[in-house]
Amino acid sequence: MKKLPLYVFLLCSISAFAQNNITKTAGVNYTIGVPTIVVSEKTGSELAVDTVTGYIYQWHRTPGPSEAGAWKRLGQGIDRILGALAPSYAPLRNQSWFAMNASGVFYEYSGSGTVWNCRNCGGGGGGAVVTNATLSGDGSGVPLSIAQQGAVVPQSLNWTGATWLPSWGNPYVFVTSGATITTAVNEILIGTMSANSVFGLPTCDASNDMKRFKFVRNGTDAFSVTIDPSGVQTFYDGVSLKIIFGKLSIDCTCRFSGGTGVWFFDNF
């Protein structure tokens, strides 16, 4: 009976040894920058933490295709984030530079601020999509869309050069004297004039093909209005000028085909 404690001790020791496969306990190296130490594989630690960047490294014993054993930075995986937008944070020192949102859109941190680049977005190879009140969506999980901007049915949105504004789709200009008409308008509202006037049409070319101008006369004068198709071009009937009097109005439409532009007209 005196030997029973010894037997129990040996039995427990054998059981504990059988459950433990530790070959060495060497701690972790902390380095300033990428580790450069050569590891003694029997006694040295094969893990290191770069205190500058926070990256974790492991010593690889097996030589690679073109190198002997070396320190390799461990991958930090891909973070999964909630929602359908890009991450809005700058990753911490030990945090992954890769993230995937709930819609399956994959982002990589740009290295600056909180800017993340989409790596599986459609429309030409990805890139950062910056959105504001004018443009919503990320182009992948959430389709890009233009906000209503106060428009009502059946208005459209026109670009002013700075923002989108509601429009009835017929930009016009009001005049009381002659002018050269630009492609920025569709209707020319002619008020009461004090003399005969000439209105020049822009050149009918490929960029203006199908462009339509409506000249609307509502003035009380009796002066003439001459429509001049860019000086060197003509109307389809071969006439170089159209002259209207009173409250007669005219539509002019550019048709460009085979390198030649002509203007079609319609009195109303």
Lowest-pLDDT range, 31-40, 85-94, 122-131?
A: 122-131
- All structural domains of the chain with their residue ranges: 172-267
- Cα–Cα dist 87/114, whole Å: 8
Cα three-residue angle 93-96-100, rounded to 5 degrees = 145
The candidate with the shortest Cα–Cα distance to 264, out of 196, 209, 184, 189, is 209
Distance CA 91, CA 252 (A): 60
Question: Alpha helix (H) ranges present in the chain?
Answer: 4-18
Among 24-28, 89-93, 144-148, 240-244, the range with the most confident prediction by mean pLDDT is 240-244
Residue 81: which of 94, 100, 96, 104 has the closest Cα? 100
Q: Does pTM top 0.75 for this prediction? A: no
Average pLDDT, integer, range 54-65? 70
| 168 C-beta neighbours (distance < 10 Å), count | 11
Query: What is the separation, in whole angstroms, between the first and last Cα of the chain?
Result: 125
Supply the CATH classification number for the domain 172-267.
Answer: 2.60.120
Dist CA 41 CA 221 (whole Å): 103
Backbone φ and ψ for 190, nearest 5 degrees, come out as -100, 115
- Backbone dihedral angles phi then psi of residue 10, each to the nearest 5 degrees: -65, -40
pLDDT band at 196 (very low <50, low <70, confident <90, very high): very high
| 3 state SS of 1 | coil
Ordered DSSP codes for 158-191: EE-SSSEEEE-S--EEEESS-EEPPTT-SEEEE-
pLDDT tens figures, 231-240: 678 888 888 8
Q: What is the pLDDT of residues 72-120, one digit of tens each?
A: 777 667 888 888 888 888 887 667 888 888 888 899 998 888 899 988 8
pLDDT tier at 66, thresholds 50, 70, 90: very low
